[in-house]
Amino acid sequence: MKTIYQGDRITILPITIEDTDRVVCWRNNPEVLRNFIDQQTLTPEMHALWMEKKVQTGEVFQFIIHDRHTQTDIGSVFIRDIDLQHLHGEYGIFIGENTARGLGLGTEACRLICQFGFEELGLERIFLRVLASNSGAIRSYEKVGFVKEGCFRKHLLLQGHWHDLIYMGLLKEEFNYEK
């Protein structure tokens, strides 16, 4: 299995337990947390358990996003809840470094992890869930080829406010490897 995917500006590298402090910091960044469905504060212990029970077992494939220009790690991307019978999995991402947002690096990371999911994992479909208010993320996903498949209205009550949840999907035959 290929463990490194490189794009024009980023590389995605397999996550390790040594990434824990950085991942916990990124995940608890208020700019990141406000767009998460699970807005619980992440502790190092919770992340270590995630690594042990999910990543190390192959239930989740998670990578660190490395900006090749600045030579810094900027976030994480993953495919979780992989169903090998029905050949689908759920995509997720967070850009933890504030200065790395809005530059298209997340879109590139999305494209690379989808390529990994289709080529290495043999998935036929990758899906995601996103808050309807997260318009920047939705545009990024659409650039990769994801399409809106449904909207669950008033689905989440976060910090006393109702949020719609959008489901998006990408089929292997729709994915453009050349972009």
Cα dihedral 73→125→149→155 (10° resolution): -60
Residue 3 has what pLDDT? Answer: 65
Per-residue model confidence (pLDDT) at position 178: 67
Instruction: Give 142: exposed, middle or buried? Use CB within 10 Å, 0-12, 13-18, 19+.
Output: middle
State residue 39's pLDDT score: 85
All structural domains of the chain? 5-128 (3.40.630.30)
pTM of the model: 0.93
DSSP label of 54: I
CB 50 within 8 A of CB 76: no
Q: How far is CA 72 from the centre of its chain?
A: 18
Blockwise average pLDDT, block size 10, the chain, 179 residues: 82 96 95 88 95 94 96 97 96 95 95 96 98 95 97 94 97 85
